[in-house]
């Protein structure tokens, strides 16, 4: 057999490849429990260990290259399983690198939080040993830091597979630290003393404020009593309910029946306008406040004569502006019949001088301790507010006052003890009583009393001298307020 140098090198490479293939076959066979067979190379077979190759007869071709034959084993090489093993090994390598990087990252973070735990421990020990007063903020800062560390350790526990003694120990330490802080906070005697001192100071200020309030405000005035000054303050709104016709009925009026002869009688009326914000067609009466809350009405009545939300009720009669005219109307609530119509002299109507943001309220009827009033404008007054005192029986005008306040710049108005109070919007949630006109003295004044409202537009304001409360119809909602008055000595 003749072999050239180049041929020898090729044979050596082939033999190395065969050795590698044989080793791989043996490994795959063991892992996958494949039945092995003895490989035969060429025609040579040994009894104990198979030889990786055998000498065979070769020949030279016409170019002087040695050629020989090599016989592989009879069984098929498992290429697909070999590829799966390679893919699995690659995936395991990637996962291992990822977990290794997480461990490295968490190790650094644990070192940082160990230092933070040490700092917190020192801070808590200082708080325990010293008598310096500390605040709730100190405890809150410590709790926030503990919560952050607890979150990290919990994340470590869920991320790292299997148990980790260091992480478990760190978690227990943080829990103990949290308990310690809570106990220390509960035993905060210094702050308790500080709070007690602050409470004493506040009680002293409260007493001074109460004494000052008694000097300027009367606690209670009987119905019909006007021995007080102007409105000093208005309570927060009491939202009673949405009107019985629904949210679409944004315009209307409501209030409590007023009769000085029977002040103990309860009767509430609700008169929403139609959705056009113009016509008054239906109203309801309620015999008590509880019935109002339960929508338990005495009756629902139809009226085809009213316009605008300037309606009021006095002494079992409803007063309103007759639609498309300058007439005043008087409706008997017992029979639901219009018993009188009378023109209001020189009054503008048909939406000529209504309030700002509210249409068709040319005539605004009001009730106070002395009886029935009407607020309106005339062409002669060039749109300024005119106030007239009415005879509730005959609807005759008893007296009239002209103001210098332009009615369309006012959002609404009401009268208490002969004093007109006009409002204007501050923003979508606040209204301001900014103008007063006292018919008793003929003097006007500028004040500032804020009224909180639920929604933007105030459709009507009605004062009841029976319970001394203010009733607001606010975008379909029924709102009620308590009024606080100045004492006469403070004016």
* C-alpha of 138 from chain center: 29
Give per-residue pLDDT as tens, 138-156. Answer: 666 666 767 766 676 666 6
DSSP state of 346: T
Give per-residue pLDDT as tens, 401-414. Answer: 999 999 999 999 99
Query: Does position 59 have pLDDT exceeding 70, yes or no?
Result: yes
pLDDT of residue 51: 52
Mean pLDDT across the chain, nearest whole number?
Answer: 79
pLDDT of residue 91: 74
Give per-residue pLDDT as tens, 288-343. Answer: 999 999 989 999 999 888 999 999 999 999 999 999 999 999 999 999 999 999 99
Select the highest-mean-pLDDT range: 35-39, 127-131, 287-291. 287-291
Give per-residue pLDDT as tens, 444-467. Answer: 999 999 999 999 999 999 999 999
Query: Does position 182 have pLDDT exceeding 80, yes or no?
Result: no
The Cβ of residue 286 has, within 10 Å, a number of other Cβ atoms equal to 24
DSSP state of 273: P
Residue percentage of the chain with pLDDT more than 70: 63
Average of pLDDT values for 161-173? 61
pLDDT of residue 110: 75
The Cβ of residue 222 has, within 10 Å, a number of other Cβ atoms equal to 8
What global pTM score does this model have?
A: 0.57
pLDDT of residue 461: 97
CA distance 330 to 332: 7
Query: Does position 362 have pLDDT exceeding 70, yes or no?
Result: yes
- For 464, counting Cβ atoms within 10 Å of its Cβ (0-12 exposed, 13-18 middle, 19+ buried), the class is buried
Q: Could you tell me the CA-to-CA distances from 10 to 14, 42, 62, 72, 87 in Å, in that order?
A: 6, 18, 19, 17, 31
- Residue 213 sits at φ, ψ, to 5 deg, of -65, -40
Give per-residue pLDDT as tens, 79-114. Answer: 676 677 767 777 777 777 777 777 777 777 777 777
């Amino acid at each position: 057999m003749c072999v050239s140098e180049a041929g020898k090198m090729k044979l050596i490479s082939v033999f190395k490849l065969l050795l590698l293939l044989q080793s791989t076959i043996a490994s795959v066979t063991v892992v996958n429990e494949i039945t092995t067979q003895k490989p035969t190379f060429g025609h040579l077979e040994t009894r104990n260990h198979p030889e990786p190759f055998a000498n065979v007869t070769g020949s030279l071709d016409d170019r002087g290259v040695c050629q020989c034959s090599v016989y592989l084993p009879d069984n098929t090489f498992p290429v697909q399983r070999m590829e799966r093993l390679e893919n699995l090994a690659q995936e395991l390598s990637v996962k291992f690198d990822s977990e290794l990087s997480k461990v490295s990252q968490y190790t650094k973070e644990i070192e940082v939080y160990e230092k933070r735990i040490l700092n917190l421990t020192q801070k808590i020990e200082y708080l325990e040993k010293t008598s310096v007063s500390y605040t709730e903020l100190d405890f809150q800062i410590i709790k926030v830091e503990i919560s952050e560390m607890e979150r990290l350790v919990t994340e470590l526990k869920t991320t790292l597979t299997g148990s980790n003694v260091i992480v478990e120990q760190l978690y227990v330490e943080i829990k103990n630290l949290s308990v310690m802080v809570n106990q220390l906070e509960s035993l905060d005697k210094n702050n308790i003393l500080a709070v007690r001192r602050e409470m004493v100071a506040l009680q002293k200020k409260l007493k001074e404020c109460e004494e000052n309030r008694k000097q300027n405000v009367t606690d209670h005035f009987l119905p019909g009593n006007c021995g007080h000054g102007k409105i000093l303050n208005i309570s927060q709104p009491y939202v009673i309910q949405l009107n019985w016709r629904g949210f679409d009925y944004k315009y209307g009026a409501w209030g409590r029946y007023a009769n000085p002869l029977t002040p103990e009688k309860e009767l509430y009326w609700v008169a929403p306008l139609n959705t056009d914000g113009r016509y008054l067609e239906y109203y309801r009466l309620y015999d008590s406040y509880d019935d109002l809350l339960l929508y338990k009405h005495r009756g629902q009545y139809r009226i085809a004569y009213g316009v605008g939300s300037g309606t009021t009720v006095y002494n079992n009669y409803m007063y309103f502006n007759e639609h498309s005219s300058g007439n005043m109307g008087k409706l008997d609530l017992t029979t639901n019949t219009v018993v009188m119509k009378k023109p209001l002299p020189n009054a503008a109507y048909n939406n000529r001088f209504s309030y700002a943001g509210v249409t068709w309220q040319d005539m605004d009827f009001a009730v106070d301790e002395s009886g029935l009033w009407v607020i309106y404008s005339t062409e002669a007054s060039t749109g300024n507010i005119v106030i007239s005192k009415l005879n509730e029986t005959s609807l005759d005008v008893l007296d009239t006052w002209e103001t210098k306040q332009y009615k369309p710049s006012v959002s609404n108005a009401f009268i208490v003890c002969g004093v007109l109070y006009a409002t204007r919007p501050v923003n979508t949630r606040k209204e301001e009583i900014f103008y007063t006109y006292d018919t008793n003295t003929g003097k006007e004044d500028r004040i500032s009393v804020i009224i909180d409202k639920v929604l933007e537009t105030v459709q009507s304001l009605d004062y009841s001298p029976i319970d001394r409360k203010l009733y607001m119809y606010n975008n379909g909602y029924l709102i009620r307020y308590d009024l606080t008055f100045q004492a006469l000595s403070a004016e």
